Chain A
Amino acid sequence: MKYRLQEAMNRLRAFLHKQPLDHELDVEMAAHLDFAIEENLRRGLLPDEARRQALVSFGGIEQAKEQHREARGLPALDILMQDLRYAFRTLRRDRAFTLLAVLILALGIGANITVFSVVNTMLLRPLPFQHSQELTWLAGNDGVGGLSDQSYRVDVYEEIARHTRSLYDVTAYVPYYDYSDFKLTGYGEPKPVSGVWVAGNFFQTLGIQPALGRLFIREECVKGGRPAVLLSHVFWQRQFAADPAIIGRALTLDKRAFTIVGVLPETFDFTAVFAPGLKMDFLTPIIFDDIRTYGHMLSIMGRLKPGVTAGQAQAEITLLLAQARGQNPDWDTDVKTVITGLKDHVSGNLRRSLIVLWCGVGLILLIVCVNLSNLFLARAAARSKEFAMRSALGAGRARLLSQLLTESLALSSAGVLLGLGFAVATTRYLAHQGSIALPLLSSVRVDGAALTWTLLIAAATTVLFGLVTGLGISGVNLQKALKDTGHGMSVGRKHERLRAALVVSEVALACVLLVGAGLLLRSFLRVLDVDLGFQPSRAAAIKVDYDDGGNRARRGAILQQILERVRAIPGVETAGMSDKLPLDRNRSWDLRAKGRTYPAGANDDAFVYVVTPGYFGALGMHLRDGREFSWQDTATSERVIIINQAAARRDWPGENPLGQVAQGIGDSDTRVIGVVSDVRESSVEETSSPEVYVPATQAQPDGENLVVRTKLPPEALASSVLMTLRALNPGQPATEFRPLRQLVDHAVSPRRFFVSLVTCFAALGLVLASLGIYGVISYSVARRTQEIGIRMALGATASQVQIGVIAKTLRLALLGLVLGTIASLALSRAVASLLYATESTDAAVFGAMILLLSTVALLAGYVPARRASRIDPMVALRTD
């Protein structure tokens, strides 16, 4: 045993010190021969004979050296090194081939790792909380409707928290993030910061420990307690340069002093999970008693007790709330609770998109494999003589195959490395796309799981194209290959058939990708084309800070003054204000026609916008009937509202809503004075719900957004508008000047994300397919040079030759197209649910795909066809 180890070490040492050992052996052997010659001379032989006999009895010098090397070193490793060296040499010689193969592989693998990382982050990996599979999400109103519908009253939350037996812990946060938009003062000019209100036990329920300081304590979560905040890690770094001494210091938010009690860990990103695409600077405790009467204010999460399923919790909570409703008749939507896993709530609606994306990128990998096999086959054909020669010189088949495998391994390693670099770059880029409303996007990265996945697909790829190539080689007959000049020999023909089959499958795969991408792209264009009910271009919004001391009359005067000054800015066409913007955060109240009886359980929600005169114009909405608000609608005049067409249809069907009296908006009755067009309030893709507009002088707005419409690019007005606001109110924070376009972009960003990725993949697939067609056709042209030469010598014209080659191309493409179209028709149903206003059998998409692929195939075939038609018969017949 001891000897074995020592021997292994010695062998390794010998392997690493090849040259000095070889030299030593040379010297030793020379001495050996000298001794032998001397002895022979002493025996009386002539010098020449003495030398000859010495050499004879020594035997083969090279064999002895080889034996020596084998005995002392690591022969298997030597062979591998030899193969590798040879592989690199041949790959370097075929630079174009190598570059192409590595690039194709890198693109395919890179795209796969990137998509896997995204899928892994959003779908496979558990949420970044402790035992996150136990976390559940509670949604009211059967999980449908806007935020106000699905969120809960404080009393309901407390009822659940107090009595549940299936949930270990229940926590909540306020999902109306603009309730918690604050003005930070004391650090230079006033700054807008965002916070979110969370229940005191929020972090304990999710299992999060602060990076610094501590979590909220009981006294900070009750009425009259000391206001406290926990900073997000990013905000702590950005605003306070990661100063650890910040704990215990005061933070002035909206003129109130909050104590910084801790900093959250870097791994906790509230928005990534609960509010993708937004930013959140700090968290502060909900004082339940302050918001008890505000209605639906809370989003609720719970942690299941060990061994309890979501279904059991659902049954228990449904029963619990149904019993409690007896004493609380106004708990309407709250009672219709649906419990799902938190993960499902966060990314469940993305599952299908992600799976489609994953399949798409898998198709790319298949196309890449097919393409590489094709390239390798072409090369193997070109090298068949080399292999025949080597095997004639005594190389065994295993040795040749191992040489081939070494080459494909070297290639795929290079491709994988490059692809990995590519994936790291793309994932890093994606992780910094803060404005895309996709959950957990910021934590997308190439991690251990992605690396494992990479290894897996790399191995699969290598085996796949290595095998196909091996298949091509092993059929080669030695003598035939040496004789084969490439003109109609059986091996050549067999290769060509295999390659044609590969190209057909490549075209078919590209078909499926193109159809998928085409359908999604068409849906996306349809989404962009949707009549939003307002004009997002050439308008921008900015949050306005003002102090009315809670006096409605004063508020009217202040707002009127702001609007007058802003409208006087050159370039401003019109301006208006609203507390909420469409496609942004929303809130709903009840809306009912007075005197009408509604069936029990009927949905009477309406989205509410508290606006000033001029808002409709600024947003580019259309007044259908009646009049707009004016400054004569004051706190003391008649309460008025304007409704949208959806509200008119629901609450006054078949009637003229103008002049009718409505209930539910505020404490008293309100009169409908106008009807405006529907605005897409919560999603671009969903039709509008009933909407109500209330004058800012008659209701309490939640903050105020100034909307400015201009002829100039909106950004050009940013500084002048802010200056005007500052002149009126020095405390105006430097809030963001948001083009309304941004709201729409944010709303469609997930769809844009998926469409761009799938379109990229389809383009890649198209390029690869055309490369494949080009390769096969140009190879067959090169092989038939002589045949074409003879035909031309016999009178075939250049155009006949061209047509012949192009016809062959189109035959391949057509076969691929037919197969691909059939496959697409079968598979497109899988994406049907991802489409918007587009049939999964959309004729335009299929037509465009067929046209595009045939054009590309034609082009790919035209280049070699042209080359064929330029063949000079004399030259062609003389070569070879």
Chain B
Amino acid sequence: MAESKLDLLKGTLDLMVLQTLATMGSQHGYGIARRIEQVSADKVLLNQGTIYAALVRLQQKGWITAEWGTSANNRRAKYYLITKSGRKQLAQDAAYWHRLSDVMGRVLAMQEEGGKR
């Protein structure tokens, strides 16, 4: 049971990271984590550290690339950038999520209205 939950979480986080990079351009790990927290209005409880597992996973699949750079306040950090195949994957996954949440929304709505209790 614990595993399937982890899988879902993992998939979600990967998608969030991809989307963030697609909109923000080159960004370091902390920036991505903060951005996700801001966009979700701190509704997701994100252990920022877990973002690095997602980053290395995406990197190994070839959907993002990474290189060392210097931040505005002159700090060395690793910057991530979405690749072409990453965008393609993002489009696919986003479409899937929209369809899924659409279906889930309708199913759940049906339960609220027509549920016989």
Chain A residues with CB under 8 Å of chain B are: 3, 6-7, 10-11, 14, 24-25, 27-29, 31-32, 34-36, 38-39, 57-61, 63-64, 67-68, 70-72
CB distance from B56 to the nearest CB of A (A): 4
Pick the residue among A35, A67, A68 that contacts B28 (CB under 8 A): A35
Residues in B with CB closer than 8 Å to A14 are 56, 60
Among the stretches B15-23, B74-82, B97-105, B106-114, the one at the interface with A is: B74-82
Contact between A72 and B75, CB atoms less than 8 A apart: no
Sample of 12 A–B contacts (CB below 8 Å): A6-B61, A7-B61, A28-B77, A31-B76, A31-B77, A35-B77, A38-B73, A58-B47, A58-B48, A59-B50, A64-B49, A68-B53
Contact between B52 and A27, CB atoms less than 8 A apart: no
Q: Report the nearest A residue to B48, measured CB to CB.
A: A58
Pick the residue among A3, A58, A64 that contacts B53 (CB under 8 A): A64
Residues in B with CB closer than 8 Å to A27 are 76
Contact between A32 and B30, CB atoms less than 8 A apart: yes
Residues in A with CB closer than 8 Å to B50 are 59, 64, 67
Chain B residues with CB under 8 Å of chain A are: 28-31, 33-34, 46-50, 52-54, 56-57, 59-62, 71, 73, 75-78, 85
Q: Report the nearest B residue to A34, measured CB to CB.
A: B75
Bound: A335/B28 CA distance, A: 100
Q: Report the nearest B residue to A25, measured CB to CB.
A: B52
Contact between A71 and B53, CB atoms less than 8 A apart: yes
Q: Report the nearest B residue to A8, measured CB to CB.
A: B60
Q: A11-B60, A68-B53, A70-B53 are known contacts. Are A32 and B73 too (CB-CB below 8 A)?
A: no
Q: A6-B62, A14-B60, A59-B47 are known contacts. Are A36 and B52 too (CB-CB below 8 A)?
A: no
Contact between B49 and A29, CB atoms less than 8 A apart: yes
Residues in A with CB closer than 8 Å to B31 are 35
Bound: A28/B76 CA distance, A: 8
Bound: A67/B75 CA distance, A: 25
Contact between B56 and A71, CB atoms less than 8 A apart: yes
Bound: A484/B14 CA distance, A: 49
Bound: A10/B53 CA distance, A: 14
CB distance from B74 to the nearest CB of A (A): 11
Bound: A602/B81 CA distance, A: 105
Residues in B with CB closer than 8 Å to A57 are 46-48
Residue picked from B50, B59, B75, most chain A C-beta under 10 Å = B50
Residues in A with CB closer than 8 Å to B28 are 31-32, 35
Bound: A807/B49 CA distance, A: 66
Residues in B with CB closer than 8 Å to A72 are 56-57, 60
Bound: A71/B11 CA distance, A: 13
Contact between A29 and B52, CB atoms less than 8 A apart: yes
Contact between B47 and A32, CB atoms less than 8 A apart: no
CB distance from A237 to the nearest CB of B (A): 60
Residues in B with CB closer than 8 Å to A60 are 47, 49
Bound: A64/B62 CA distance, A: 21
Pick the residue among B30, B49, B53 that contacts A35 (CB under 8 A): B30
CB distance from B76 to the nearest CB of A (A): 6
Contact between B29 and A28, CB atoms less than 8 A apart: yes
Residues in B with CB closer than 8 Å to A10 are 59-60
Bound: A3/B78 CA distance, A: 23
CB distance from B18 to the nearest CB of A (A): 14
CB distance from B90 to the nearest CB of A (A): 14
Bound: A27/B78 CA distance, A: 9
Bound: A32/B47 CA distance, A: 13
Q: Report the nearest A residue to B60, measured CB to CB.
A: A10
CB distance from B31 to the nearest CB of A (A): 8
Bound: A25/B46 CA distance, A: 19
Bound: A68/B49 CA distance, A: 9
CB distance from A18 to the nearest CB of B (A): 13
Residues in A with CB closer than 8 Å to B57 are 71-72
Q: Report the nearest B residue to A62, measured CB to CB.
A: B49
Q: Report the nearest B residue to A36, measured CB to CB.
A: B30
Q: Report the nearest B residue to A61, measured CB to CB.
A: B49
Bound: A63/B49 CA distance, A: 8
Bound: A60/B49 CA distance, A: 7
Q: Report the nearest B residue to A6, measured CB to CB.
A: B62
Contact between B60 and A67, CB atoms less than 8 A apart: no
CB distance from B44 to the nearest CB of A (A): 12
Residues in B with CB closer than 8 Å to A58 are 47-49
Additional pairs, 16, CB under 8 Å, beyond known A32-B48, A67-B50: A10-B59, A24-B78, A25-B52, A27-B76, A28-B29, A31-B29, A31-B76, A32-B29, A35-B30, A35-B71, A39-B34, A57-B46, A57-B48, A59-B47, A60-B47, A72-B60
